[in-house]
Structure 1
Amino acid sequence: MLNGALYDQYYQDPKSVGVGYFPWYANPSRGRAHEKFPDRVVFITEVDRYDFDVRGDLGFHYLISERFCAVISELSVPMVDVAPVEILSLAGEPASPAGYCVAIFPSFQPEEVDGGESKFVNGKFGGIARIRKLVVSDDFSCHIFKLIGMERSSNSLICSEDFRDEAVRRGIKGVEFLDVESIDWPGGKPV
């Protein structure tokens, strides 16, 4: 967890503000469509310093560095929403020397991605508990995405080899890239 939350401005007492009432923040957890981020987004955190390239927040939103944004832009990933975000400590001081954005990655139904040989295991509540085998269709062209219906413990970003290679070339840190042949869902930690 990122030990913080998204707000529309800096608040001296962020715990008194009900972030769950911001539709752009909470809609995905309620099964509703995403509402665009406001022009100004602030992430208020209990941590004094952030230094990573991508981290998930609630499994829907991600904080991504400018370096990670550059990879997304280079490969023309059709993001759902991306907005600059200011990362501040509880005291209102900058908690990161780098620039960040808050982002929502595209999500696809498994059958939109599947090349015909994938094997998904359903959990007891109907979601996908694990992926035994993932074979992406030759027609599928999104370089980084999420699968709809993944249970929380398996819900991670999936990327192409091209995305991985460009991310490694640009020095993306704090991410472990695993090959689909070797990963044992939910053994991979969600980003």
Structure 2
Amino acid sequence: MNYFVLSQKEDSGCPIGIIYADLFDKFYPNTTGVEFGFFPWYAQKGKPGPRTPFPEGMVLISKDKHYDFDIRSVSRFFYVVSDEFLAACNSLNVKMVDSVAIEVVSEAGKRISSKNYNAVLFDEMDVRTNCDPASTFVEENGRPIRFKKLILPDDWKLDVFKYKRLVSGSDSLICSQSFKDLATDFKGIEFTPLETVVWSGIRRV
């Protein structure tokens, strides 16, 4: 099976870099003074143990004018994905911790995309125990922080996955050929073959 690293691709409605949007529990006509960082989907990032499930009715309020991407991260730990991207994940072997439908609107409360979106939290794996021992890393204080070379076991089964506590493109999602075959119409994504990837050149989705 061939595998690919996902990277941001600039297009109309698909900004490069961070998106200027925050995820709230509901729509606020004025977000000044609303400390979104205290919401559990931000505050619990990276903490061990169970997470508070995404509640129904969440709203992504954006300063951007238009979205047409199929996936972008909003923080280091959760993503906004289209219905189509989520459906592709659900049809294959993908480990997701949580997902919920959300509204994506402007600061004035108006829809800024023809797509329907979801907040998604993917399971994040330990790199030491979830790759072939021949893989090599850049390490810091004895801990891997990015890949030199990622090699997957021959019996690898996951179709979309990521590793935790990595940086410099090594923290982006990786997908199988089966997923890529379903993603032919997805916008805002480049697929770089795992065997030729230059990790520092990846813009994590």
SS across alignment from 1:20: helix
Partner of 2:13: none
What SS class does the counterpart of residue 64 from structure 1 fall into?
strand
Query: Whose strand fraction is larger, Structure 1's or Structure 2's?
Result: 2
Contact 1:4–1:45 at 8 Å: present in 2 too? Answer: yes
Counterparts of 1:65-144 in structure 2, within 5 Å, are: 65-123=82-140, 128-144=144-160
Match of 2:61 among 36, 41, 44: 44
Paired position in structure 2 for 1:26: 43
Q: Structure 1 residues 153, 16: closer, same or farther in 2, change over 3 A?
A: farther
Scaled by the length of structure 2, the TM-score of the pair is: 0.84
Residue 128 of structure 1 and its aligned partner are, at CA, apart by 3.4
Check conservation: 2:172, 2:203, Cα contact below 8 A. yes
**Residue 99 of structure 1: CA displacement?**
0.4
TM-score, scaled relative to structure 1: 0.90
Contact 1:7 1:43 in 2 (8 A): yes
Task: Report the counterpart of residue 188 of structure 1 in structure 2.
Answer: 202
Q: What is the RMSD computed on CA atoms of the aligned residues?
A: 1.8
Task: Give 1:6's match in structure 2, choosing from 23, 27, 31.
Answer: 23
Q: Which amino acid aligns with 1:43?
A: L
Check conservation: 1:106, 1:146, Cα contact below 8 A.
yes
Structure 1: which 5+ residue stretches go unaligned?
none
Aligned in 2, Cα 1:21/1:137: closer, same or farther, shift over 3 Å? Answer: same
Secondary structure, aligned partner of 2:191: coil
Q: Is the 8 A contact 1:128 1:151 kept in 2?
A: no
What 5-or-longer segments of structure 2 have no aligned partner?
A: 1-17
Match of 1:146 among 140, 162, 165: 162
Q: Percent identity of the aligned residues?
A: 34
Distance 1:40 1:126 in 2: 42
Q: Which has the higher helix share?
A: 1
Q: How far apart in 1 are the matches of 2:120 and 2:168?
A: 18
